């Protein structure tokens, strides 16, 4: 079988997915909405071969073994079943984004893997089917199949839980600055973190209710092209999500001291009249929602606290592509 290479970009959730209703199928507890980014992406090449005795998986030029390799082989099994394929695969994946640091590398990674592996196995999946497949690897990967603003509809089973494009062509001035505070693997994975929260946080039911309300507000804000309203809702939604980690038993947090510094700088910029807001996923890095025209001034202020190489500017990005 021929080798196929696909590229998928990361997405940053403006309305967060946090908690599974179904662990096996990765059905979420609430719908979510994200913005796909151009600067962070994963390139993955897959080739099935009768010569292999097991899957050979390489990530960033390192051979994967143990649970990480098993997770990918399990995902490939879904494709093998669908394609009636018995062969093992070579997988070569390169992250152009720090891995497991809260910058959505698993989203771009599994979206690229879904696209490359399904086509390498002889399947010709349309984007809704690709979105369902990517979800089985990593929940947020379901959104990286599409560009621009994307909604992951919660659904209630494998068929109905998938992403749909909300606004793929972003025609107003919005982008993000990623403040990379720590590009090391995080101590608490998203998977285990959300499982802890669902099981133990007394705030969790309130989170689901609030997130559903935030989603309605966010869609209206995007249709209005109102960056301030988008930012306000996204910032509030992110902090409500992180409140659930602090209320888990035992409590934990993805905040680091510099995360709080970044938040304070953004709040100070806002007091000075700039339209900038922060969001934060399951990792210490902060993402700043802002306009391109105000980005130079925001970067200048952030430069007093962070090195230039820690500040990465990203515009709205495209959906999955075959290279």
- Residue by residue, pLDDT tens for the chain (323 residues) are 899 999 999 999 999 999 999 999 999 999 999 999 999 999 999 999 999 999 999 999 999 999 999 999 999 999 999 999 999 999 999 999 765 555 668 899 999 999 999 999 999 999 999 999 999 999 999 999 999 999 999 999 999 999 999 999 999 999 999 999 977 777 888 889 999 999 999 999 999 999 999 999 999 999 999 999 999 999 999 999 999 999 999 999 999 999 999 999 999 999 999 999 999 999 899 999 999 999 999 999 999 999 998 999 999 999 999 99
pLDDT of residue 243: 97
Per-residue confidence (pLDDT) for residue 98, from 0 to 100: 62
For the chain, where do the domains classified as CATH 3.30.230.10 start and end?
A: 4-170
pLDDT of res. 288:
98
What does R_g of the chain's alpha carbons equal in angstroms?
19
Could you tell me which CATH number the domain at 4-170 has? 3.30.230.10
Q: Are 163 and 131 in contact (CB under 8 A)?
A: yes
Domain 175-314: give its CATH superfamily: GHMP kinase, C-terminal domain (3.30.70.890)
Query: How many residues would you count in the chain?
Result: 323
Q: What token pair was written down for 104?
A: 């959505």
Strands 88-96 and 277-280: unpaired
Residue 182, pLDDT score: 79
For the beta carbon of residue 2, count every other beta carbon within 10 angstroms.
8
Helix (H) or strand (E) holding 34: strand 32-49
Q: Specify the domain boundaries for CATH 3.30.70.890 within the chain.
A: 175-314
């Amino acid at each position: 079988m021929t080798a196929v290479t696909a590229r998928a970009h990361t997405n940053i959730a403006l309305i967060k997915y946090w908690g599974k209703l179904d662990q096996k199928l990765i059905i979420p507890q609430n719908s979510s909405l994200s913005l796909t980014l151009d600067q962070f992406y994963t390139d993955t090449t897959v080739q099935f071969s009768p010569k292999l005795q097991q899957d050979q998986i390489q990530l960033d030029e390192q051979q994967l073994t143990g649970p990480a390799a098993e997770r990918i082989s399990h995902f490939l099994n879904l494709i093998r079943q669908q394609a009636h394929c018995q062969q093992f695969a070579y997988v070569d994946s390169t992250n152009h984004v720090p891995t497991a640091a809260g910058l959505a590398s698993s989203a771009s990674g599994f979206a690229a893997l879904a696209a490359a592996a399904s086509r390498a196995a002889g399947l010709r999946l349309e984007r809704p089917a690709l979105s369902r497949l990517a979800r089985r690897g990593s929940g947020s990967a379901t959104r990286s199949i599409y560009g621009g603003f994307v909604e992951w509809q919660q659904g209630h089973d494998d068929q109905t839980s998938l992403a749909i494009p909300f606004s793929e062509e972003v025609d107003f001035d919005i982008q993000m600055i990623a403040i990379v505070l720590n590009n090391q693997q995080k101590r608490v994975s998203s998977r285990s973190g959300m499982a802890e929260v669902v099981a133990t946080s007394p705030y969790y039911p309130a989170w689901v209710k609030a997130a559903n309300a935030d989603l309605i507000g966010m869609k209206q804000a995007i249709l209005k092209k109102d960056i301030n309203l988008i930012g306000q809702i996204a910032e509030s939604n992110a902090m409500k999500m992180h409140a659930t980690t602090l209320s888990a038993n035992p409590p934990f947090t993805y905040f680091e001291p510099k995360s709080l510094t970044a938040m304070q700088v953004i709040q100070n910029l806002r007091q000075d009249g700039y339209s900038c807001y922060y969001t934060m996923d399951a990792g210490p890095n902060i993402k700043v929602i802002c306009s391109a025209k105000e980005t130079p001034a925001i970067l200048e202020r952030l430069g007093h606290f962070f090195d230039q190489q820690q500040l990465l500017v990203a515009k709205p990005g495209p959906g999955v592509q075959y290279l």
